[in-house]
Amino acid sequence: MSTSPSVISASRQSVLQRTLGVLGGGQLGRMMADAAHRLGVRIVVLDPTPNSPAGQAADKQIVGDFKNAECIAELAAECDVLTVEIEHVNVDALEASAAKCSIQPSPATIRIIQNKFVQKQHLHARGIALGEFAEVVAGGRQGVMDAAARFGYPLMLKAKCLAYDGRGNAVVKSEQDIDAAIASLSGAAAGGLYAEKWVPFTRELAVMVARGLDGKVVSYPAVETFQRNSICHTVVAPAQISGEILARAAAVAEAAIATFDGAGIFGVELFLLADGTVLLNEIAPRPHNSGHYTIEACHTSQFEQHIRAVMGLPLGSPAMRVGASVMVNVLGSGSSDQDFDNTWALCSSSLSLPSSTSIHWYGKEGVRNGRKVGHVTITGPFMPDVQAALRALGPSFADSPV
């Protein structure tokens, strides 16, 4: 049976070739672009670095700052939907485009989450379990001493804004550390500081939660994350914990996301305490490093799920299609050509493994020390096999804490 041309073009307009604009051009946007193309969605990214990781994979990159109102307006002018792959964007400018585009998740959600202190106030007021925290009102030494009088040492001093990969955090072990901690955060201090009571967690968990435009919510299995120097290093999926704790982690994450507006995927970082209590650490309003394993290990990857959610398509199954998975980040070791070669060698060593191992190279220009430049995901039917494959990858992976 033939379909009339008018029916084809109407359905094309409603489903295919709609354009998604993404603020930010890093690896999250790059992996979003791969998923978008499979769904017939055109993708344009906004990032100041020409030929950014996402720009290489997108239909188009606008070279410009995602904090600049004119650049955001230029992106909005050619998009049906706007989303973010980084929360540190100009929310006022995003809001100004609301009449032109659907913005997902909502600018109000991004505004709350981008300030970690405001995010904590928001969640605390809505009954989500958190560690104790307090604003460092004086901004300086006295403010930290006041927090220490309440929480004791060690405590975690955090920048409210522009934080990622632990940049923006400083551990204060005693009164002697206060000045150095404040100085180390001076770059991020303009947005203000706050203090958190030290959380004596036994494990760190994370749950990805997605909400569609129709309000439907799905969550991925809780994973265990391992940080090195506050940077996510290894993710084990599913977390090797009881079903009861897995369910508790999912419940906390879903309750937290229910307090925010808008469609999309959210990464929820959690602390598990020795007595089984689950506390929320922080939320990302976008795909998250702890969800990279979903590309190979789940029916619907976190990137595809995000595209489905923000474009108003039905959500897919978040269930794992393998028994076990481990993801390890590949971090840059320095800026020289030799460092670049060493980092690539590390990543590509997994190509010779017989097990089910995938590499993701982000195409970043430089591989400066500590920068996330790629990741490796291993999948298998059982966790011991996946762990054995990880150990076979060589020393840098073998000392992963799993």
**Least distance from C-beta 52 to Mg ion, angstroms?**
20
Q: Are 112 and 121 in contact (CB under 8 A)?
A: no
Rule CB under 6 A: is residue 387 a binding residue for ligand ATP?
A: no
Rank residues 44 and 113 by Cβ distance to ligand ATP and give the closer one: 113
Query: Judged by CB under 6 A, which of 24, 53, 55, 168 binds ligand ATP?
Result: 168
Q: What DSSP state is assigned to residue 291?
A: G
Rank residues 157 and 297 by Cβ distance to ligand ATP and give the closer one: 157
State which amino acid sits at residue 172. Answer: V
**In terms of Cα–Cα distance, which of 390, 58, 223 is closest to 23?**
58
Cα dihedral sign for 191, 197, 202, 207? negative
Rule CB under 6 A: is residue 88 a binding residue for ligand ATP?
A: no
DSSP bridge partners of 60: 44
Asked, as a colleague might, if the bond just before 105 is cis with ω within 30 of 0, I would say: yes
Question: Which residues, 236 to 275, sit near Mg ion by CB under 5 A?
Answer: 269
Rank residues 20 and 163 by Cβ distance to Mg ion and give the closer one: 163
Question: Which residues, 248 to 277, sit near ligand ATP by CB under 6 A?
Answer: 269
- Of 16-24, 193-201, 236-244, 326-334, the segment contacting ligand ATP by CB under 6 A is 193-201
Rule CB under 6 A: is residue 199 a binding residue for ligand ATP?
A: yes
CA atoms of 299 and 320, how far apart (whole Å): 6
Rank residues 196 and 296 by Cβ distance to ligand ATP and give the closer one: 196
**Least distance from C-beta 362 to Mg ion, angstroms?**
19
**Least distance from C-beta 166 to Mg ion, angstroms?**
8
Q: Are 161 and 88 in contact (CB under 8 A)?
A: yes
- Of 39-47, 97-105, 270-278, 281-289, the segment contacting Mg ion by CB under 5 A is 281-289
Rule CB under 6 A: is residue 291 a binding residue for ligand ATP?
A: no
Rank residues 85 and 269 by Cβ distance to Mg ion and give the closer one: 269
Rule CB under 6 A: is residue 230 a binding residue for ligand ATP?
A: yes
Q: What angle do CA 191, 197, 203 make, to 5 degrees?
A: 110
CA atoms of 147 and 150, how far apart (whole Å): 5
CA atoms of 218 and 263, how far apart (whole Å): 12
Rank residues 74 and 282 by Cβ distance to Mg ion and give the closer one: 282
Rule CB under 6 A: is residue 192 a binding residue for ligand ATP?
A: no
Rule CB under 6 A: is residue 26 a binding residue for ligand ATP?
A: no
Work out the number of other CB atoms within 10 angstroms of the CB of residue 251: 13
Q: What DSSP state is assigned to residue 336?
A: S
Phi and psi angles of residue 355, each rounded to the nearest 5 degrees, phi first:
-75, 180
Phi and psi angles of residue 92, each rounded to the nearest 5 degrees, phi first:
-60, -45
Rank residues 204 and 304 by Cβ distance to ligand ATP and give the closer one: 204
DSSP bridge partners of 224: 205, 236
**Least distance from C-beta 225 to Mg ion, angstroms?**
9
Strands (E), 109-222: 133-135, 155-159, 169-172, 193-197, 203-211, 217-219
Rule CB under 6 A: is residue 196 a binding residue for ligand ATP?
A: yes
Rule CB under 6 A: is residue 166 a binding residue for ligand ATP?
A: yes
The gap from C-alpha 232 to its chain's centroid, in whole angstroms, comes to 10
Rule CB under 6 A: is residue 198 a binding residue for ligand ATP?
A: yes
Question: Which residues, 94 to 153, sit near ligand ATP by CB under 6 A?
Answer: 131
CA atoms of 237 and 321, how far apart (whole Å): 11
**Least distance from C-beta 398 to ligand ATP, angstroms?**
22
Radius of gyration of the chain from its Cα atoms, rounded to whole angstroms: 21
Rule CB under 6 A: is residue 226 a binding residue for ligand ATP?
A: no
Contact positions toward ligand ATP, by CB under 6 A? 131, 156, 158, 163-166, 168-169, 196, 198-199, 204, 227, 230, 269, 281-282
Contact positions toward Mg ion, by CB under 5 A? 269, 282
